[in-house]
Each structure stands twice: as structure tokens, then as C-alpha cells.
Amino acid sequence: MECLKRGGVIAYPTEYCFGLGCDPTNESAVRRILTMKRRPWQQGLIVIADQPERLQGVIDGHHRELMAPALASWPGPYTWLLPATTQVAPWLKGRHSTIAVRVTAFPLARQLSRDSRMPLVSTSANRSGRPPLREGRAVLAEFGEAIDLILDERVGTAMEPSTITDAATRVTLRG
């Protein structure tokens, strides 16, 4: 998708709500999302992909024992905190040594990753502390021209966001 490759910020439906996405290696695009959401960079962001191999640039693959439960749960609504590679920038992973990653099962999000041939930032389309938005017109009303492209399709049927589990401790932080 050319918009993503040019450093654009998109809004797209996910299993639960609309997400804001961009190329996770593009600092300008990631910072735009953080500014739009009024989210501190220290918290870090989730990166999604259509297949585990697409996450190789962000996950430190030397920790195979930590990967096993993640691989067993994917594709699906399961986000895992896994050790980040040394190349992952602080503006993406926040103040953490881990990165939040998920191989999504949602068809449109999978297609975005597959077609762009990259993983994507995936964070809920809402300002920090406000409820996630579930319709394209609500995203447009909230963010307006700050978003380069809105894929105005239906969100999935999930009633809550993905779980987030720390792979090292097996503690579920959300969900």
C-alpha cells in the first residue's frame, strides 16, 4: 500500500475497533500517531503482521522458548511482549526492552501487512484515555485531516481488545 510506504498514517478496522497504523520504522509517522493520540512515547506501541516472519526485524529471535506460546496462539487476538531487537527505536518500543507484537487473524489487517510487505503499528483510534472508535466516520470526526487514509469498513465482532501477555513472566497485562 503506497500510503504506508510514503510514511502515511492510516485508520483501519481491526477485530475490536479502528486502529491507527503506519510503517513502524518511520519515525515521523510513528510520532504523528503518538501526537494524534496524545500518548507518551514511553508506553510503546503494538506492531502487528500477517505472519510471524514479518516480525523478524522487531523480535529478537534468540529467545525461542519465549516465542513458543506466541506462535501457538497466532493468528489471533493475542499480543505478546517479546524481547526487541537492538534496532527497534525507543519511539516505537517506549522505555521497554520488549516490543508488543501480534499476528492478527483479522482479514483486512492481514491484507494490509501482506500487501505492504511490512509489519504495521496498530494502536486504537482514540485519544489517550477515551474509548476506542468503532466507525470510520467517528475516526474522521475525531482526527480529521491528520489521517492520510481511512479504510471505512466494518470492525470485527470482538467485544474487547486483544490480550497482552508478557512472554517472560506469563503475566497477562490486559485481557
* Three state DSSP letters for the chain: CHHHHCCCCEEEECCCCEEEECCCCCHHHHHHHHHHHCCCHHHCCEEEECCHHHHCCCECCCCHHHHHHHHHHCCCCEEEEEEECCCCCHHHHCCCCEEEEEECCCHHHHHHHHHHCCCEECEECCCCCCCCCCCHHHHHHHHHHHCCEECCCCCCCCCCCCEEEECCCCCEEEC
Per-residue pLDDT at 64 exceeds 90? no
Per-residue pLDDT at 35 exceeds 90? yes
- Could you tell me the pTM of the whole model? 0.95
| Section 67-73 average pLDDT | 96
Per-residue pLDDT at 1 exceeds 80? no
* Spatial distance between the Cα atoms of 59 and 56, rounded to a whole number of angstroms: 5
Q: Which residues contact 96 (CB under 8 A, 6 or more apart)?
A: 44, 81, 84
* Spatial distance between the Cα atoms of 20 and 8, rounded to a whole number of angstroms: 10
C-alpha cell recorded at residue 114: 501482506
The pLDDT score that the predictor gives to residue 175 is 80
The pLDDT score that the predictor gives to residue 63 is 85
| Section 90-106 average pLDDT | 97
2-9+25-130+143-152+162-174 falls under which CATH superfamily?
DHBP synthase (3.90.870.10)
For residue 54, which of 115, 121, 7, 113 has the smallest C-alpha distance?
Answer: 113
pLDDT over 90 percentage in the chain: 95
Per the prediction, the chain carries an average pLDDT of 96
The pLDDT score that the predictor gives to residue 61 is 84
Lowest-pLDDT choice from 37-41, 62-66, 143-147, 148-152: 62-66
